[in-house]
């Protein structure tokens, strides 16, 4: 199964970086390739997320589950077509001077071999662009005066 490992140092504190990535519903506003995201509620400790992503003329919609361990980690998993398996782990590490080292490990395999060949060419670039987009998103939120006490995970619906 292909694996891509990325890391980037960002000049922002860990909670601010964590919040930007945990705000999955807003990905279409800043993450490359995201066309639409709808959160579908909580399934135990996992948030169900239906997302439409596209690049290179290919668009697909699939369901994933995100689990949160603030402010250290976010795990995203999907077994929904077109994936046979998708696992993404975002990790957040404090650095000197209020900086954050952002780590992303993505493992993926598509159910269809032909789609997998195209995906293997497009996906790494999207993930690299996503790392850059996270930095821009955090900078924008800080310029807009986003409150420092924002929740680190999406709210659960009250039942």
CA gap 159, 154 in Å, rounded: 15
Q: How far apart are CA 122 and CA 125, in angstroms?
A: 6
Q: Is the pLDDT reported for residue 80 higher than 70?
A: yes
Run of H or E residues at 34: strand 34-43
Residue 21 belongs to a domain:
yes
Whether residue 149 lies inside any domain: the answer is: no
Q: What pLDDT, on a 0 to 100 scale, did the predictor assign at position 159?
A: 40
Report which of residues 73 and 125 the model is more confident about: 73
Per-residue model confidence (pLDDT) at position 114:
66
Quick check: is 105 in a domain? yes
- 89 belongs to a structural domain: yes
Q: How do residues 85-138 score in pLDDT, each as one tens digit?
A: 999 999 999 999 999 999 999 999 888 776 666 677 778 888 999 999 999 999
The arithmetic mean of pLDDT across residues 26-50, rounded, is: 95
Query: Does 150 map to a domain?
Result: no
* Contacts of 72 by beta carbon, 8 Å cutoff, 6+ apart: 91, 92
The domain of 102 spans 3-143
Is residue 153 in some structural domain?
no
Burial (CB count <10 Å: 0-12, 13-18, 19+), residue 51:
buried
Name the pairing type of β-strands 3-10 and 58-69: unpaired
CATH number (domain holding residue 90): 3.30.530.20
The model's pTM is: 0.89
CA distance 75 to 33: 19
Contact 52, 64 (CB under 8 A): no
Q: Give the count of domains, the chain.
A: 1
The answer as to whether 84 is a domain residue is yes
Q: Which two structure tokens, joined as six digits, stand for 154?
A: 């999406």
Span of 25-34, 35-44, 91-100, 149-158 with lowest mean pLDDT: 149-158
| H-state helical runs in 31-112 | none
């Amino acid at each position: 199964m292909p694996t891509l490992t990325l890391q980037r140092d960002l000049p922002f504190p860990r909670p601010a970086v964590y919040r930007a990535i945990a705000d999955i519903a807003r990905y279409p506003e800043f993450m490359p390739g995201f066309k639409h995201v709808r959160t579908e509620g909580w399934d135990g400790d996992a948030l169900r997320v239906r997302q439409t992503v596209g690049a290179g003329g290919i668009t697909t919609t699939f369901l994933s589950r995100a689990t949160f361990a603030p402010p250290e980690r976010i795990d995203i998993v999907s077994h929904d077509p077109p994936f046979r398996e998708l696992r993404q782990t975002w990790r957040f590490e404090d650095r000197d001077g209020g900086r954050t080292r952002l780590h992303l490990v993505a493992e993926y395999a598509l159910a269809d071999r032909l789609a997998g060949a195209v995906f293997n060419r497009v996906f790494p670039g999207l993930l690299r662009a996503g790392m850059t987009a996270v930095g821009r998103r955090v900078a924008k939120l800080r310029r807009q005066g986003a409150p420092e006490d924002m929740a680190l995970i999406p709210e659960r619906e009250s039942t």
